[in-house]
Structure 1
Amino acid sequence: MNTQNPPYGQQGPYGGQYPQGQGPPGPIPGQPAGQQPFYGYGSAPAGSYQGQPSSYQPPYPPAGAPGQQYPGQQQAPGYMSGYNDQSTQYGQHYTHQPVPQSPYSHQAYGAAQPPQQWQQQQQQPPQQQYQQQHPQPGYAPGPGQQPYGYNIQPTPASPGYDPAQKLMVQRIDTSADVEALRKAMKGMGCDERALVRVFANHKYQNPWAFQQLRNDYESRFMRDLVKDVKGETRGDFEDALVALIRGPLDHDVYTLDKALDRAGTDEEALMDVLLCRSNADIRAIAAEYRHVKGKDLLAAIKDDVDDTLFRLYSMVLSATRAEDAAPVVPADIDHKITELQRATEGIIGTNDIAVAQIFTSANAAQLRAMSIAYQHKYHRSLQDVIEREFRGDMEDALLRMLTSATEDGGKADADALRAPLLKTLQNKKIITYRVLRLYWGDRARLYAAQAAHQKFYHKTLTKELKESLSGDYENLMVALIGEK
């Protein structure tokens, strides 16, 4: 006989049953009828998803709107902490019902909108178009279960990371550009300006389109484009041209290989490649690294970083980050900021692994919600807490994830590109990598970075590049940014 689970008797109001001998709890004295708590054991009240908002009051009000109610459904937290050394699987989620739109959610560019009755239409300036509100689907279902009317769509791979994307790229007439490239590198000297015009032509911005150009050049002249470029150019200009030929996925593998050189780890490059990436991109990078280098990426990282940072990258490479379409659930956010406080300010020292697990398993909208909620609940900035409680590479990694989610519009990208430009000893490889990430990525992201740079630093990103760089390398970087 099973003595652990009590027998159930009386039918609950929403399909569940109360334990034998018990009925629903009585009303709270003095509480209005419409604000009595929900005690159901089964599904939420049907009216809550048919245009009849629930009376649930979130545990913290939206910033700037004390006491304001919004439609919501009380949820069990979907977070379960823990580190599994055997399988490196992190961030288990319980299946429970979705909630309508939260004031804390910010939808990624291009994601599907939630049902119209729950949308909160907001007017945003152009630089914030990249950080739109996320829809409100439910958590990922358990085996044999379906999310309650919602289906969380995986975030698509970035351009250049999925070979199936080639089917969506129309055939481009490259004949004139192929001839221009050969003419620029034929004979004595090299026409660098001609190389810039072709390589930075925005019709080749999609990496699969540039692959057409490379293939057509090599088929037409029976020559290797990389070898020709290396034979005719030098320095940072050469490195940037070759990176364009490689494409984003191969350049990620190349960057990781250089960053994990036994002579010394380039932690900044490691963060550039692996942090704040979609699960699809992470899986593609790890697979390509193994294919090219013949070894596991996580094993290579383990040899070059300390144990705490290794565990953080173990979580990243497990590719279990919440998809961009995953919800911002107020009860879940409140649970996680409580965990963050306990793991940082609430103890002597810090529980690095618990903080890393929360950060690496959350999407940008969820991290932004945590930042807002932490400030409201504890009257301290989450960023200040990270800066006070952590040091070194772990601090840099956590701040990278946090600021990418919380900075205004494209400011995080603008700051990331501006930082190496202002240094006396510039790291041109980092500059090239960050320019190319903007160039290869979503146009809205590039425009947001341009607008944010103008807004916060009162000059264009192009002017910043021109003031810091020189020669053919400068011309190429400015052409890739494409700012007039």
Structure 2
Amino acid sequence: MNPPNQHYYGQYPPAGGPPLAGQPQPGHQPPPQGSGSYPPYTPPPGASAALGLPPYSNYNAPQGPPQPGQYQPQPYPGGASSDLGGYPPGQAKQYPNQPYPHQPTPQGQYGQLSALYEQYPPNPYPYQAPNANPRVPAPPGQWPQPHVTPQGYGVPPTPASPGYDPAQKAFYAPIDTSADAEAIRKAMKGMGCNEAELIRVFTAPKYDNPWALAQLVDDYNKRFIRDLKKDIESETRGDLETALLALIRGPLEHDVRVLIKALDRIGTDEGALMDVLLCRSNADIRAITAEYKRIKGKELLIDIKNDVDDALFRLYSMVLSATRAEDSAPLVAVEIDQKVTELQRATEGTFGANVVSVVQIFTSSNAAQLRAISEAYQRKYHRSLEHVIEKEFRGDMEDALLYMLDSANDQARSDARRLETPLCSTPRKDRLFINRVVSLHWDRNRLDQAKAAYHMHSQLRASIRGTVRTLLSGDYENLILALLRERQ
């Protein structure tokens, strides 16, 4: 803090008012000629203590040798002084591009800070200063707005899908399940099983919310001191059993069970792996990895590493890092163009595709950004990005990249294809088809769009209802139609 300015045109101010320039005051001794400065200013006794400042010392007096850790002006490279106003003649406007010099901190301080940054990454939501009076809005531009990047920092996170976050229970009103629990028990009690009654109860509209169905399962288990899942396993068989278990487990546990089955056998089920992990929100990915560790007792990424090749492991390691741009992240034209250029250099512009660069762009972009990248690539290079992927990649990596690209370009048509492929293949892949039907069952809007797209783009040019009735039969057919909301 600089001392108060007590000099007015070379005179101390008199008690009665400001002096006139050039008029000496009584008792004042002018400075010696040629000195160019007045005697050092000394504040009244106790002034520093009243202001909460350290004892005042003469600014112009020698301070003695610097103490350890005290700042010492250091010269910049080239002779320019780091102290204010210390540039050599002719270099007053030359500002060096070097960081301002500083004294070294105590040993180990930077090492500890680096370790903390590695353990706790920076907050993705930059600090925004609050308004002093919350009732009076701050004027525009008074406080800095959150910094927005294409990775999604500074934007609201995408909420978890229904059934993936226990906090969602706070918004769910419990319902009366006693009659339905009795009906389920009666359907499985005694000789035989009334499968039609099970289908009627489990697919009732009141259980469209996964938390409502979870309540029914818990109420059944507590009321009859039984395990509903074991009862289903003992009373049903085949594809009907698979579909009922997939339904009553709920979306999160079922995803984990699909992963466990896909990784716990000779040959990985890549289709099931892609269905569960690709094109998912960060919140869903974190929930899946945590539930997998709870059920299996192992890290999901470790199990994936033991089952896939190195290139595909890099892709899933980036997916499981949960750093995908949030759905509300904006589209930045400059960055979209940069990613398009990088994709071209990593594929067509080099000998052998740069897998890491391509995977990084695909896994870090949300659906809107990836769709914008695909459209920009077509405009800039007059080739579809899908054709480039098919040309530069093979096998599981090609399938995974095309899976993400198709879902971003037209999710409804992509869902329709994923329903048709296992249903119409030879032999029919019922387990994969069931997983996809149950997944769509929990998202009514997405299911309706997929059914409309199926009717438009199906190779059979038929509705999903017509295809199911043609290829399936019995209670399994009735359950699938009920899950697709195509009841008779």
Query: TM-score of the superposition, structure 1-length normalised?
Result: 0.70
Q: Decide whether aligned partners of structure 1 residues 94 and 279 sit closer, same or farther in structure 2, where only a CA change above 3 A counts.
A: closer
- 8 A contact 1:94–1:139 mirrored in 2: no
Counterpart position of 1:319? 322
Structure 1 residues 135-169: Cα deviation after superposition (integer angstroms, max 9, x where no partner): xx962599xxx98xxx4100000111100111111
Which amino acid is the alignment partner of residue 363 of structure 2?
A: T
Q: How does 1:104-123 map to 2 (within 5 A)?
A: none
Q: Is the 8 A contact 2:187 2:194 kept in 1?
A: yes
Residue of structure 2 in register with 1:283 after alignment: 286
Q: Which moved more, 1:155-164 or 1:217-226?
A: 217-226
* CA distance 1:94–1:284, shift in 2 (3 Å): closer
**Do 1:279 and 1:319's aligned partners in 2 also have CA atoms closer than 8 Å?**
yes
The sequence identity of aligned pairs, in percent, is 60
Partner of 2:296: 293
CA distance in 2, matches of 1:342, 1:93: 30
* 1:80-119 correspondence runs (5 A): none
Asked if 1:221 corresponds to 2:224, the answer is yes
Question: Match for residue 456 of structure 1?
Answer: 457
**One-letter amino acid of the counterpart of residue 435, structure 1:** V
Whole-angstrom distance in 1 between the partners of 2:93 and 2:462: 70
- Give structure 2 stretches of 5+ with no counterpart: 1-74, 82-91, 96-117, 127-145
**Pairing 1:364–2:386 present:** no
The answer for the alignment partner of 2:440 in structure 1 is 438
CA deviations on 1:246-305 (whole Å, 9 max, x unpaired) are: 111111111111111242211111111100000000001111111111111101100000
Deviation at 1:383, TM superposition (A): 0.2
The 5 A counterparts of 1:233-272 are 233-272=236-275
Deviation at 1:463, TM superposition (A): 1.6
Question: 1:209: how far off?
Answer: 0.6
Q: In 2, Cα distance between the equivalents of 1:401 and 1:478?
A: 28
- 411, 414, 423: which is aligned to 2:416? 414
Structure 1 residue 455, shift from structure 2 partner: 2.4
C-alpha distance in 1 between matches for 2:228 and 2:328: 40
Query: Stretches of 4+ moved more than 4 A in 1?
Result: 1-4, 19-22, 87-90, 92-95
Corresponding residue number in structure 1 for 2:158: 155
Q: Distance in 2 between matches of 1:467 and 1:337?
A: 44
C-alpha distance 265-3 of structure 1, shift in aligned 2 (>3 A): farther
Equivalent residue letter for 1:233: T
**TM-score between both structures, scaled by the size of structure 2:** 0.69
Q: Is the 8 A contact 1:88 1:315 kept in 2?
A: no
Aligned match for 1:204, one of 187, 202, 207: 207
Q: 1:93 to 1:162 in 2, by over 3 A?
A: closer
Deviation at 1:206, TM superposition (A): 1.5
CA distance in 2, matches of 1:368, 1:252: 26
Contact between 2:160 and 2:284, CA under 8 Å: does it hold in 1?
Answer: yes
Q: Which residue of 2 aligns with 1:11?
A: none
Q: What secondary structure does 1:459 align onto? A: coil
1:139 aligns with 2:141: no
Aligned to 1:110: none
2:392 is aligned with 1:389: yes
Distance 2:317 2:291 in 1: 17
Aligned to 1:354: 357
| Distance of 2:119 and 2:272 partners within structure 1 | 23
Distance 2:387 2:278 in 1: 20
Residues 203 and 482 in structure 2, CA contact (< 8 A), matched pair in contact too: yes
Residue 74 of structure 1 is matched in structure 2 by none
Q: What letter matches 2:479 in structure 1?
A: L
Which residue identity is paired with 2:254?
Answer: H
Equivalent pair of 2:157/2:326 in contact (CA under 8 Å): yes
Offset of 1:186 from its aligned partner? 1.1
Partner of 1:402: 405
Maintained 8 Å contact 2:418/2:436:
yes
> What is the CA RMSD across the aligned residues, in angstroms?
2.9
CA, structure 1 residues 311+201, in 2 after alignment: closer, same or farther (shift >3 Å)?
same
**Aligned-residue offset at 1:483:** 2.9
Higher relative contact order structure (alpha carbons within 8 Å, sequence separation ≥ 6): 1
The count of residues paired between Structure 1 and Structure 2 equals 360
Q: Given that residues 161 and 284 in structure 1 are in contact (C-alpha distance below 8 angstroms), is that contact kept between their aligned partners in structure 2?
A: yes
Between Structure 1 and Structure 2, whose CA radius of gyration is higher? 2
Superposed CA deviations along residues 168-210 of structure 1, whole A, max 9, x for unmatched, are 1111111221111111111111111111111111211221110
The answer to whether residue 174 in structure 2 is matched with residue 171 in structure 1 is: yes
Q: Does structure 1 conserve the Cα–Cα contact (< 8 Å) formed by 2:150 and 2:329?
A: no
Letter in 2 for 1:423: S
Task: Verify the 8 A CA contact 1:94 1:141 in the aligned structure 2.
Answer: no
Q: CA deviation at 1:316?
A: 0.2
8 Å contact 1:89–1:320 — kept in the other structure? Answer: no
TM-superposed deviation, 1:426: 1.6
Q: 1:436 to 1:88 in 2, by over 3 A?
A: farther
> What is the aligned partner in structure 1 of residue 132 from structure 2?
none
Report the Cα distance in structure 2 between the residues aligned to 1:279 and 1:294, rounded to whole angstroms: 21
Please tell me the residue identity of whatever aligns with 1:296: E
Residues in 2 aligned to 1:296 and 1:446: alpha-carbon distance in whole angstroms: 32
CA distance in 2, matches of 1:160, 1:322: 22
Check conservation: 1:322, 1:362, Cα contact below 8 A: yes
Does the C-alpha gap of structure 1 residues 138 and 449 become closer, same or farther in structure 2, counting only changes over 3 Å? Answer: farther
C-alpha contact (below 8 Å) 1:93/1:139 kept by paired residues: no
Distance (whole Å) between structure 2 residues aligned to residue 322 and residue 188 of structure 1: 54
Supply the AA of the counterpart residue of 2:455: Q
Q: Secondary structure at the match of 2:437?
A: helix
**Following the alignment from structure 2 to structure 1, what is the Cα–Cα distance between the partners of residues 125 and 227?**
52
C-alpha distance in structure 1 between counterparts of 2:172 and 2:421, whole Å = 34
- Maintained 8 Å contact 2:150/2:332: no
